[in-house]
Each structure stands twice: as C-alpha cells, then as structure tokens.
Amino acid sequence: MSGLSGATAIVGVAETRLGKVPELGCMQMCVQAAHEAAAEAGIKMSDIDAVLTVDSMAEPFRMHSVVLSEYLGIRPRYSMTNSLGGATHCAMVSHAAAALHAGLCDTVLIATSDKLVTGLTKDQAIAALAENAGHAQYERPYGPMIPAMYALAANRYMHQYGVTPEQMAEVAVVHRRHAGMHPNAQEKTPITREDVLASKPVAMPLRVLDCSLVSDGGGAIIMTRADRARDLKQTPVFLLGVGERHLNEFVHQAPDLTTCGAKDSGEQAFRMAGLAPKDMDVAMLYDCFTITVLLLLEDLGFCPRGEAGAFVESGAIALGGALPVNTHGGLLSHGHPGRPGGVFHIIEAVRQLRGQCDARQVQDAARAFVHGNGGILSTHCSLILGRD
Amino acid sequence: MAETLSLPAPTPTGDSKEYWSAANDGRLILRACRTCGKPMFYPRGHCPACGSGDLEWREASGEGVVHACTIVHRAPDQAFRARAPYVIALVDLKEGPRMMANITDCPPEEVRIGMPVTVWFEARSETIAIPQFRPAQGEKK
C-alpha cells in the first residue's frame, strides 16, 4: 500500500450534453462542466488552485489549461495541458492525486471538451483524426485510419484465440443496452448482434457498430484531499490505486498485439489498493472499439487469457452480470467527443459509487475499476476508486 | 499515375535519409546496432535495445511473413478511397523487425496471417518510393 492510496478523493463531476451541441463552444463546454462540478461538490470556483486539462481539436489553444483558468477567473498555482490520448483523464486523476498529496495544491479541476460533430467539418474531423493516426513516415503512407490499426490487433487476437465476430458484436450490444438507461447517452436505440454483423465494414474485422461514436461534449472532475472531501456535499469517492504503463506509440512497434500496457498498469493499481480483480463491483474500460474491451478484460485480470469472448457471451459484462462494464454505454453508445472520451468512464464510476445511477445502478457498488487507453493500445492508466 | 502521386510521400528526417534514399533505389535497408547486434525498425540514432550510438546499415532480404492484416474499406482521404478496399498488414521481416505495408498483387480476402511476402517499391514522388509487399513467388495469388 502506498501513502497515496485513499489520500485523495473525487468530490464533484459533471458532463455536458453529448451528441450535437452547436450552441456551445469548446471552451464554454469546459467552463459549464467546471461550474456544475464545483456546484455539486459545494466548493467555490475561487477554491480551485490547480487546473489540468486536455486541448480540443475544434478550438485549440497554445496553453489550454491557462486559457480555461483565465476564462473561469481563477489563478491556479498548478496547471498542465495533457496529452496521453484516451489514458489522459485517468492519468490526470493520478497526477492530481500526487500533487494534492504532496501539498502542491488543495483543490484540482480536471476539464476537457471537444466538438467533433459541429465544431469541425466532416473532412476536417477525418483529417484531424488521420493526422493523429500513425507514424508520418512509416505508417501513414499506407493509408491507416485509427480503426484499421485496432483491426490489426483484432485480426491477430482472433487468429490466436479463436474469438468470434459474434462475441465481439455482443460487446456493442451490451453497451447500447446500458446507454438506453442513461439520460444523457447519445445512442439509445437497441441493437442486436445481427445489426452489428450487418453494419458497414470499416476495417475488417471491425464494422461501423464495432466503432465508437463521434460526438460533441465534455466533462469535469473536482478532486481534493480525503480530509477535506468528507466535509463537502457529495459522498466522497476515494482514489485507492493508480498505475500507468506506456509500451509504445505506433502499432507496428507493439511487442505483442494481443496484450498491452494495461496488464502492468492494472497490476500496479491493484497492488496500491491492496485489492484484486474479484473485489471490483463495476468496471469502466476504455471502449474505442469492441476489441479494446476484450483485450482489456484479459490484461486487467478480469478473465483468463483468450477467454474474454466467452466471458462477454456469458453475460458477465452486462448489468446484473459478474462484472458490469461501462454502465453509461461507453464510447460505443454514450458518446465519444475524441480527446475528452475517457472522462465519462471516471464520471460514471463516481456516480455508481455514490449510488446515483437509478435504473443502471449496480447494487451496493463499493469498488470501481477505471481504465484509460490511448493511441493504438499505446498509453495506459488504471484507477481503483472506492467509497471508503 | 496521378492517383499514385496524390498518395502521401514521407518526408525523410535526419535518421531516415539513407533509408528513403535506398528505398528510392529499390533496396530495403535496416539500421542495426554494432554493439548488441540487433537490427531495428524504424531507423534511429541510437539502439533502442542497448542504447549504443554505434550503428550501421544492413541490406535486408526483403522477405517476410504477414503478422496481422486488415482489409480497409473506409479510407482516410480521396486518394486512398480510390484504392479501397486495400490491405494494411504488419510484416515480420526475416531479419526480425516488424513494419507496416500494404499487401498488393493479391485479392484482399486472400491475404492471411503467416503468408510469405516479398518487398517491392512503389513510387510516390520523383525522389520517394515506399516499401510495399506482395505474396512471395510460388504463393497462391
């Protein structure tokens, strides 16, 4: 156990509307979420003395975290704009915890937003995503989009372990069912495995419904030290464990396409928390594609190697199953505004642990696992959150 | 071909000038470490295995096998859209390193993991040709 375990807590969360949000600018969405998160925590904006953010593609700034602070009218003593792809939000929670624990600040705001639907033209969005996908010299000349590079991992994983397209499709079906119970989810229309398998091919074996959504939206998180957290408005959600591991950026550099840095980031987080996979009541796993969920379930120790397909097929990841996953619907159905994507997994974990999830509430949820994955299975950060 | 010319041509950097120059001459070369002996991909200024700066260029055989592959239907831009569906693969070179390429001269659905492939070079500009792979001779086309 580390001194960091249980030393800090998440005390406020908020998410903006998702989908098409033409009426708000990107920075405005960060500000709106920040005010809502602070209000639900019961803290004043002037209490915030640390700001961690992610820049947006639709409205980029040279020093995003400083611009947000200026817009909010606060003058932090700790500020950083971060870039670890889908692992950024979990990593920001980790960095915030370390800074709080070290006494570098007292109250941290984490905020992120982007507008991939109404903030960019379709061609701009595709160009922005393509520019960020693949090594400029050794990959982009071959025409890879992000789905194609995840498809390489899916192809290899299916070859080695015999997971079926039907099992992968079930991941999408479960996420859509969960989204149907979330008031803010972007896509709620139920889908079947047949719908997934009949959807348009993107990069085989991945089809449209194996891929996450494209959204506008954002979110914010407020953190403070555990002693202060107990005096605030919400039930505090304590950070019990964290771990990071970054093996590579480019997919052709991955030592093994069927296992990634999540194995080690997860082990570190469990070790810090003094807990094991079996102790988790709910898991929020980065789900940019259906394959990502399968690989993470195995690397994080929630099921044995090669058995994620069968695990999903058994109903384990659905509400009521052994390990409900992404009860908000994830990036596949709740929303995926690009860089902000990972923030919603943390927000949902916090709401589960507070017991605020109504129809999608996991009964007596006391421990939640959150995993952020960025790049092409490249960057990894795991969090373990708990009520006490 | 206009279509070929509109596809991306990489811009060489300090550590890759020789690699791209050789590719334009129809040769695949690999940076290798003279201290620990390991070849690397992509070329770097220092060995990622042992940290040594004592490196050399070696001719690669141009032979490899497909480690993973995908048939791309949604391409990133107009130039690639004209080629879709096309195959992107990770190729394990006989010398050890892995690289990305398209697998050409073969129906996309026939490309499979373990397929032996041979390098060829596709011109993307007057000074840049990129390594590509096609089924090795004797392989079912």
User: Residue B139: which pLDDT band, with cuts at 50, 70 and 90?
Assistant: low
Cβ contact A257–B68 (<8 Å): yes
Shortest distance, CA B27 to any CA of chain A (angstroms): 16
Provide DSSP, A267-330: HHHHHHHT--GGG-SEEEE--SBHHHHHHHHHHTTSS-TT-HHHHHHTTTTSTTSSS-B-TT-H
For residue A260, what is the DSSP state?
-
* Residue A138 bridge partners (DSSP): none
What is the tally of structural domains in chain B? 1
Per-residue pLDDT of chain A (388 residues; tens, 9 = 90+): 579 999 999 999 999 999 999 999 999 999 999 999 999 999 999 999 999 999 999 999 999 999 999 999 999 999 999 999 999 999 999 999 999 999 999 999 999 999 999 998 877 877 777 766 899 999 999 999 999 999 999 999 999 999 999 999 999 999 999 999 999 999 999 999 999 999 999 999 999 999 999 999 999 999 999 999 999 999 999 999 999 999 999 999 999 999 999 999 999 999 999 999 999 999 999 999 999 999 999 999 999 999 999 999 999 999 999 999 999 999 999 999 999 999 999 999 999 999 999 999 999 999 999 999 999 999 999 999 999 8
Looking at the fold, whether A42 and A146 belong to one and the same domain comes out as: no
Q: Which of B13, B73, B90 sits opposite A202 (nearest CB)?
A: B73
The residue type at A285: L
Q: Are B92 and B122 in contact (CB under 8 A)?
A: no
Residue A29 lies in a domain: yes
**CB contacts < 8 A (A, B):** 107
Phi and psi at residue A121, in whole multiples of 5°? -70, 165
Residue B140 lies in a domain: no
- Rounded to 10 degrees, the C-alpha dihedral B65/B68/B73/B78 comes to -70
Looking at the fold, whether A26 and A167 belong to one and the same domain comes out as: no
Q: Are A122 and A96 in contact (CB under 8 A)?
A: no
The residue type at A330: G
Q: Does pLDDT of B52 surpass 70?
A: yes
Identify the pLDDT of residue A131. Answer: 67
Alpha-carbon distances, residue B13 vs A368, B17, B20, B43 (angstroms): 45, 6, 9, 10
For residues B5 and A105, the model is more confident at: A105
Identify the pLDDT of residue B1. Answer: 42
The structure tokens listed for A81 are 């704009």
Closest chain A CA to residue B92:
A252
Residue A3 lies in a domain: no
Distance from C-alpha of A291 to C-alpha of A289, rounded to nearest angstrom: 5
Identify the pLDDT of residue A127. Answer: 75
> 3-state class of B79 per DSSP?
helix
Q: Where would I find the beta strands (DSSP E) of chain A?
A: 8-15, 50-53, 78-81, 107-115, 201-204, 206-207, 216-225, 237-246, 282-285, 367-374, 379-386
Q: Does residue A158 belong to the interface with chain B, where contact is any CB pair within 8 Å?
A: no
Tell me chain A's radius of gyration from C-alpha atoms.
Answer: 19
Pair type for strands A201-204 and A107-115: unpaired
Looking at the fold, whether A155 and A13 belong to one and the same domain comes out as: no
Residue B123 lies in a domain: yes
Most A CBs within 10 A among B6, B72, B109, hence the mutation to make, goes to B72
Q: What are B96-131's pLDDT values in tens digits?
A: 999 999 999 999 999 999 999 999 999 999 999 999
| Closest by CA position to A339, among listed A58, A136, A33 | A58
Distance from C-alpha of A242 to C-alpha of B60, rounded to nearest angstrom: 43
Q: Are B8 and A140 in contact (CB under 8 A)?
A: yes
Residue B141 lies in a domain: no
Q: Are B34 and B55 in contact (CB under 8 A)?
A: yes
Shortest distance, CA B29 to any CA of chain A (angstroms): 14
Q: Does pLDDT of B2 surpass 50?
A: no
Looking at the fold, whether A169 and A283 belong to one and the same domain comes out as: yes
Residue A296 lies in a domain: yes
Distance from C-alpha of A94 to C-alpha of A101, rounded to nearest angstrom: 11
H/E run at residue A172: helix A165-179
Residue B126 lies in a domain: yes
Residue B37: which domain range?
A: 2-134
Cβ contact A155–B113 (<8 Å): yes
Residue with tokens 């107009």: B78
Looking at the fold, whether A151 and A271 belong to one and the same domain comes out as: yes
Looking at the fold, whether A178 and A323 belong to one and the same domain comes out as: yes
Q: Are A192 and B58 in contact (CB under 8 A)?
A: no
Identify the pLDDT of residue A110. Answer: 98
Q: Are A7 and A97 in contact (CB under 8 A)?
A: yes
Pair type for strands A282-285 and A367-374: parallel
Residue A306 Rama label (left phi>0; alpha psi -120 to 50; beta): left
Pair type for strands B98-102 and A78-81: unpaired
Q: Does pLDDT of B3 surpass 70?
A: no
Shortest distance, CA A157 to any CA of chain B (angstroms): 9
> 3-state class of A75 per DSSP?
coil
Looking at the fold, whether A47 and A80 belong to one and the same domain comes out as: yes
For the question of an ipTM over 0.90, the answer is yes
Closest chain A CA to residue B124:
A141
Residue A2 lies in a domain: no
Q: What angle do CA B5, B11, B13 make, to 5 degrees?
A: 160
Looking at the fold, whether A21 and A61 belong to one and the same domain comes out as: yes
Cβ contact B73–A203 (<8 Å): yes
User: Residue B6: which pLDDT band, with cuts at 50, 70 and 90?
Assistant: confident
Distance from C-alpha of B138 to C-alpha of B117, rounded to nearest angstrom: 10
Q: Does pLDDT of B141 surpass 60?
A: no
Residue B139 lies in a domain: no
Looking at the fold, whether A158 and A27 belong to one and the same domain comes out as: no
Identify the pLDDT of residue A214. Answer: 94
Looking at the fold, whether A194 and A331 belong to one and the same domain comes out as: yes
User: Residue B4: which pLDDT band, with cuts at 50, 70 and 90?
Assistant: very low
- Rounded to 10 degrees, the C-alpha dihedral A36/A216/A295/B85 comes to 180
What's the CATH code of the domain at B87? 2.40.50.840
What is the tally of structural domains in chain A? 2
What's the CATH code of the domain at A258? 3.40.47.10
Residue A301: which domain range?
A: 125-210+239-386
Residue A179 lies in a domain: yes
Looking at the fold, whether A224 and A283 belong to one and the same domain comes out as: no
Looking at the fold, whether A204 and A72 belong to one and the same domain comes out as: no
